[in-house]
Chain A
Amino acid sequence: MITNRSFMLRLALYSLLRRRSRLLAALVGVALGAVVLLGMITLCHDLPKQFRDEFRAYGANLALAGLGAERLSLADLAKAKALLPPDKLVGLAPFRYESVRNRLRPYVAVGTDFSEARKTSPFWRVTGEWPDEPGELLVGADIALNTDLKEGSFATIDGRNSRQSRYAKDFRVVGTLATGGVEDGFLFMALADMEAMTGEGEVADLAEASLTLKANDLKAAAALIREKVPKVEARLVSRVADSEANALAKLTYLVYLVTAVVLGLTMICVATTMMTVVLERRREIGLKKALGAENWRVGREFFFEGALIGLFGGFLGSLGGLAFARAVAQSVFGRALFPHLYLIPLTMAVMTAVTIVACRAPVRRAAAVEPALVLKGE
């Protein structure tokens, strides 16, 4: 049973489907707009978030050390840590350096807390495994390259402690660390292993903290530590990544601007196409008016056709936009992107709004059509 409502839908659909060329032009415009809109939103929303997560941990931003030539006692470090806001603390890794030997060759061994170090130094790339059991050793990439200390090999590390008594301990190499920095020349072991090996504990040389604090709050935190734990020197570490994050924020702004421009162009494209459509169909408009259609009904039909173009073009464009964003994320930024499906209806809604606004001028033109003139038949 055909009702007036379904007949209106039929009018709009047939007008679009049986007059394909114009529809296609408008549809392509809308779809491209939607591709840019959804693609950019996804990229600008997701990538900076990913980057921020990474940047936040990109190296530590607070370094703690003993005052002057003093080593840093773990008790003081715990006191200092207690002064930091726990919900802003991404990680706090102690580092203790000892001169050691393996087969008579000298090395620098670093004792640390691997789980914390992973958080404060996310740029550490480990092949093989991270040590997580006693007696496991991580070797710098340069060492692995030039000596027998490679993943899977066994090594006896020996040396003298501060009281000049000798020590030695067996380790198994479980992984190789590459940072491109000095770390590539060090041996890494758990702090507990180092304490057991040397027979001396409770000290470190350095601790690095990563905090999600703004520069001012970070300064305040460092000052608080210096005040409350006088034996600890707290310094801010400037993060290269901060400026990169800023650059990205600016880029995001730019991309939103470009998106707005593209939406504007889409609107113009739809408006000119619909204007052409109104001119092409002025006989039909005149006829409808001659049959007794009020201006608002003729206008509503155009808005409706526009909305259908917006919805359908928006849908097609959304799919394209998701593919586009994934491709860009993959090829330009080298990371996977998870599509947010709710963006599809959102994009469709935006594109529908865009086409409806774009139809305003054409609808005014349609309202001005004089049936007596256009039906004359010239």
Chain B
Amino acid sequence: MELILEIKEVSKIYGSVVALNNLTLNVPQGQWLAIMGPSGSGKTTLMNIVGCLDSPTEGQVTLDGLNLGTLSLAGLTAIRRESIGLIFQEFHLISYLTALENVMVAQYYHSLVDEGEALEALARVGLRDRAKHLPKQLSGGEQQRVCVARALINHPKLILADEPTGNLDETNERLVMDILHGLHDQGSSIVVVTHAQEVAAHAERVIYLEHGRLVRDSQNDSLSEEDARKEPGQADVRVV
């Protein structure tokens, strides 16, 4: 199976803090992975490294066949632009731009702006009629959906979402998860960091971090049931 992500013996050390400790993880193309773990366990650190916003102190990360360690800063920037869609807990919309323009910003830095496509992306997250609204005129859930529209506009291979529903109520959480399901069905690989079991339950696979180490992997749980040929079933994971 082709891997979208190959993390090999990666460590990240901030001074005396070991944020990631010799972590190894393979993510197949098209997988929906959830990362869980207590606060400070290194989830965001891992996401930043995978998202090419940070580099590991040690170890090797291969994204879609490219060894990130060999890339220059400009090369990493290009990967962010071409292959990754980021969804933030804090949305990070540009306050002086409308929903539509916020989506178009991603097009602008990627290649060419296309208002029609941007409107389609907004329609996909159910915000076609809020296109001309500024972030402050939108609810938190709506802002997060704009953020999702921005993340998917350039058809990234990998979507990284760090606590995407941390600031949302249940209704909006469900809306956002539905959109992610849509993307997943179309073949996108998704990595979601979350504290919430309900959110993790949407994923095919859940891993747990503690003190920068991988302490549990739902995939191995099912394998550890002494049936090597059995695929990691969604049902198994959802029970977690």
Interface residues of A (CB under 8 A from B): 2-4, 7-8, 10-11, 14-15, 17-19, 283-284, 286-294, 297, 370-372, 375-377
Contact = CB atoms under 8 A, between A and B. Distances in A.
Interface stretch (B80-88, B190-198, B210-218, B231-239): B80-88
B52 to A, nearest CB: 9
B105 interface: yes
The SS class assigned to the A binding surface is: helix
Interface in B1-52: 44, 48, 51
B97 A14 contact: yes
A286 B90 CA distance: 13
Contacts of A4: 108, 112-113
5 contacts: A14-B96, A18-B134, A293-B109, A294-B77, A372-B48
B109 A11 contact: no
Nearest to B90: A377
Contacts of A8: 108
Contacts, number: 76
Contacts of B106: 291-292
Contact of B80 (A2, A290, A377): A290
Given A2-B115, A297-B109, A292 B96 contact: no
Interface string B53-76: 110000000000000000000100
B162 to A, nearest CB: 9
A89 to B, nearest CB: 67
Contacts of A291: 80-81, 86, 105-106, 109-110, 150
A246 to B, nearest CB: 55
A284 B94 contact: yes
B154 to A, nearest CB: 8
A307 to B, nearest CB: 18
A283 B88 CA distance: 12
Contact of A377 (B54, B89, B104, B134): B89
A370 B73 CA distance: 12
B155 interface: no
Given A7-B113, A377-B89, A292 B77 contact: yes
B132 interface: no
B92 interface: yes
A9 B109 CA distance: 14
Contacts of A292: 77-78, 80-82, 106, 109-110
Contacts of B104: 2, 7
A95 B199 CA distance: 109
Nearest to A296: B74
A297 B80 CA distance: 15
B76 to A, nearest CB: 10
Contacts of A15: 96
A377 B88 CA distance: 9
A272 B154 CA distance: 36
Nearest to B108: A7
Contacts of B81: 291-293
Given A292-B110, A293-B109, 17 more contacts: A2-B104, A2-B113, A3-B112, A4-B108, A11-B101, A14-B97, A15-B96, A17-B96, A284-B94, A286-B92, A287-B92, A290-B53, A291-B150, A294-B77, A371-B53, A372-B54, A376-B44
Contacts of A377: 88-90
